[in-house]
Structures are given as structure tokens and as C-alpha cells.
Amino acid sequence: MKQISELVKQLHQRLQDVARPGPGRERISIPLTLQQRSSLLSWLAAQSIFPQFYWRQRDDLEEAAVCGEVVRFSDAESAHQFLVSNNVADMRIWGLNTFDQVEIPSADTPKSALFLPRIELLRDGGGEHLVVNLYSETSLAEDVCLARQSLAQLTPGKPLAAVNVKVNAVKHQPDKQGWCSLLGLALDAILNKQFEKVVLARRSTLSLDEPLNPAAFLNASEKVNHHCFHFMMRMDDSRAFLGSSPECLFLRIGNQLKTEALAGTVSGSPDNQKAKELGDWLMQDKKNQHENLLVVDDICQRLQGGTLAIDVLPAEIVRLRKVQHLRRSIHAELATADDADSLQRLQPTAAVAGLPREPARQFILHEEPFTRGWYAGSAGYLSLNQTEFAVSLRSALVEGNNIHLYAGAGIVAGSDPEQEWLEIENKAAGLRTLLELDE
């Protein structure tokens, strides 16, 4: 990306033009031409400015690599209000929301880790752009000085090396015996009509022989896990949360919102005929259809108070590398475009929590042996014109020499612990098989 260094010179001139002593906000964008499609992630990995966020949309319509923090937000409501009050149509706030938006935020994990970035490298239908965001409540000239310091730290991207680590140890929370016991408790609760469905998860901690490069790991996932949202939030040099998720929480363009019920799972197969047979079985299976329709009904009920119209599309099969899912798309016309309200209504979905949501959520909080944090929350961006969040599934938390992998399964009456264990094994394999295992 040699041309980026040339564009930085242009940005310095543009910064000089907008520097003024009073408060203000600006978004300076300069077009560029990327030489390689894989260059955004490798460019971001080379930067020393944090936090960092990477995003690649499921249909590959958009890609973003952003870094540096102008304004931080600990919840979606304050981010939404910031956008409304500043009224910059194409300004985006990027980041993560936790699974449990009701939970009291801790010092380590607030409800959200959302931020207006200092620098953005973007690719979309309008081409590629290098962007600098400016904001100050006192002096835009002072913020221009800070922006110049960030631009001075930018370095060229480097090719990402292949993932080559060895796994020294694996610890599941819960382990298989604990999983069977946990499902027993859940099935008893379902029998006693505490809830109809609960989604239980497992965290697998893999101890590695050396630190894992999160960008290289995500790059490896992008190459094989197609039709997924790819995202990465790097907090600092040693910690990152990333994933390759098949599920959209919602996409809003203007007042039009699209969401989906992605629930019901069967294993995949590299053989097309075998995969089709498994997909046909999934489409006809009463247990999986029931699970999916429960999610559809819950989404429609939760959207009711804020929509003018809702339409549910027919079921379809989503084929991924290791599993296949049942999906129904849902389109809605919003009464008011309020992304914080949409997040509150839709997250956590029945596909990651259960039904009814509150008793299922309480069961998860009290019975799961770990705190989900960012897992099964959402990753993406907010803006005035358009907002998109993916559900943070098929995800991992990288901490130095450790990587935590997450996977979950929907439990309803008749669920079999052995089959559900196999399901979470298949789901976790989407990322785990990218590592060189030595077990």
C-alpha cells in the first residue's frame, strides 16, 4: 500500500483546512485503489494504534479496517445519541456488544465496546477510501493535532504468515460429563415449563506453544469459512475477540430492517449429494423446524411495538463448511430508525438464549460454568443511514498463548445430550481445525 503514504500527505493538507479553535466534527475521506483484496486485514495487523476493528460483510459487499479511538461508548444508546446529535450521515461507530445487555457491566467487560475510530480504510460499492474522523467538544484544532500524531504512526501492511501453532492442552467448560449434567437440568426445567428452549454453550480453552496472531488466524478463517461475517476487535497487542459468524442480527437501511431466525442444525459434508440429503432431512425434521419457528415467533413479537409491517420469508438451508442451518429471513418496516432500540429488542435472540428469553437467560447466568462476555453478543457498526450487526458466533477470544473457542446448541424437549455435544463439536470445528492440533 505505497499509495497510502502518499495520501497521508493529502490528508495533512485537508486537516489544516478544517483546524479551528472551537468545537466541531469532521469526516475527511480520500479515494484510493487497493492493489490486493487481502490488504485491509494485513494493513490493520501492522498498525500499533489501538483499539482496532476489522469487518467483512457476509456477502462481501463491505470491508473495513479501522483503528484509533476518537470517542468511546459503553452502550449502544449513547452511541446512537452521539450520531443523532452530530448528524454526519456516513460517520460509523464500530465494535462489540455483550451477550447479556441486561447484566450489570463489569470493569473488564462493559455492555458495549463501541468507538468512533480515528482512521478507517474502507471498501464498499463506492470504491475504496482512506478516512480520518475528527471530533472535539472544545477545540477541533487540538483534535487535528492528535489526528496528525496518529497518521504519523501508520506503517505499510505486511503479508500475514500462515497459522502454525501447536496445542499443548485443551480444557472444556463444561466437559462432556458436565455437559450431560447441564442438559439434564435444562430438560427438567423444560419439563417443569420454566421455559420452552434454552441455548447452552461450551468454552474450550486451548493452550498454545506460542502466542497466536489473531489477524493471521482470522485470515485463515476467511479463506475457508465462506458466507460468513468476519470480524475482529483487537484491544491491545495481546488480546483480541474475533469470529466468522453465519448469522445477521439485523441490517437496517433507512427504516427498513432485515433480520433472520438461524436455528436448527445438521452436520455438513464435502460431498454435494450427501450434503443435499442432510439438508433435505433438516428441512423436514420436526424438532429442528419447531426450534426455528420458536425463534421466528419470538423475533416477530419483539419487533411488534416498533414496526409498521413484518414479513417472514420461507425457510431455506444455509450450507457452511462444517454444518448446515435452517434459516428464515424476516423483513420489517420500522416506525422509527433507532438502532439502540432494535438491539434491545433483538439481543440476545432466542437462537442464542432461549424462550421465553428472561427465564432462559437467568438459567444461563446461573448454570453455565463461564461468563459469555462478547460471545453470542453482536459485532458490527452503527450509522444514521445504515447499521449492521452480526451475532458473535463461531467466535474466539485470543489472550497471548491461550485461545478460547465458543459454541452453543439449542435445547428443547427431546434433545439428546450426545447429539448436542456432537453439534457443538461441529460448530467449534469451524475455527478449531484452523489450528495444528497435537493431542
CB 32, CB 7: distance < 8 Å: yes
Spatial distance between the Cα atoms of 71 and 358, rounded to a whole number of angstroms: 32
Same domain, 172 and 149: no
Residue 161 domain-assigned (yes or no): no
Name the domain boundary from 118, 153, 188. Answer: 153
User: Where is average pLDDT lowest: 114-123, 347-356, 369-378?
Assistant: 347-356
Same domain, 137 and 6: yes
Same domain, 123 and 263: no
Same domain, 133 and 207: no
Same domain, 32 and 134: yes
Task: Kindly list the catalytic residues.
Answer: 197, 247
Same domain, 72 and 183: no
Spatial distance between the Cα atoms of 134 and 22, rounded to a whole number of angstroms: 13
Grid coordinates belonging to 59 = 456477502
Grid coordinates belonging to 435 = 489450528
Question: If pLDDT is split at 50, 70 and 90, which confidence band does 35 have?
Answer: low
Spatial distance between the Cα atoms of 435 and 95, rounded to a whole number of angstroms: 26
Domain that holds residue 120: 2-153
User: Where is average pLDDT lowest: 1-15, 184-198, 382-396?
Assistant: 1-15
Grid coordinates belonging to 328 = 428464515
Cβ-in-10-Å burial (0-12, 13-18, 19+) of 139 comes to: middle
Name the domain boundary from 99, 127, 153. Answer: 153
Same domain, 285 and 196: yes
The answer on pLDDT for 57 being more than 90 is yes
Residue 197 domain-assigned (yes or no): yes
Tell me what pLDDT residue 36 has.
Answer: 62
pLDDT cut 90: percent of the chain above it: 79
The answer on pLDDT for 2 being more than 60 is no
Residue given cell 441490517 in the structure block:
251
Same domain, 108 and 171: no
**Domain total for the chain?**
2
Spatial distance between the Cα atoms of 351 and 299, rounded to a whole number of angstroms: 10
Same domain, 47 and 179: no
Same domain, 98 and 198: no
- 77 annotated as belonging to a binding site for a ligand: no
Which CATH number belongs to the domain containing residue 269 in this structure?
Answer: 3.60.120.10
Q: What are phi and psi of 56, to 5 degrees?
A: -135, 120
Contacts for 192 with CB less than 8 Å, ≥ 6 apart: none
Give the 3-state secondary structure percentages of the chain, helix then strand then coil, rounded to 5: 35, 35, 30
pLDDT digits 0-9 by tens, 127-179? 899 999 999 999 999 999 999 999 999 998 889 999 989 999 999 999 999 99
The answer on pLDDT for 439 being more than 70 is no
Entry pTM: 0.93
Grid coordinates belonging to 269 = 459434508
CB 245, CB 395: distance < 8 Å: yes
Question: If pLDDT is split at 50, 70 and 90, which confidence band does 117 have?
Answer: very high
Closest alpha carbon to 101 in 126, 72, 77, 136:
77
CB 308, CB 333: distance < 8 Å: yes
Residue 162 domain-assigned (yes or no): no
Residue given cell 435452517 in the structure block:
326
The answer on pLDDT for 438 being more than 50 is no
- 63 annotated as belonging to a binding site for a ligand: no
CB 213, CB 161: distance < 8 Å: yes
Name the domain boundary from 120, 153, 186. Answer: 153
Residue 256: C-alpha distances to residues 166, 252, 344 (Å):
46, 6, 17
Same domain, 183 and 213: yes
63: left (phi over 0), alpha (psi -120 to 50) or beta: beta
Strand locations in 209-304, DSSP E? 229-234, 239-245, 248-253, 256-267
* Burial 329-347, CB ≥16 within 10 A → b, else e: bbebebeebbbbbbbbbbb
Strand partners, 66: 53, 120
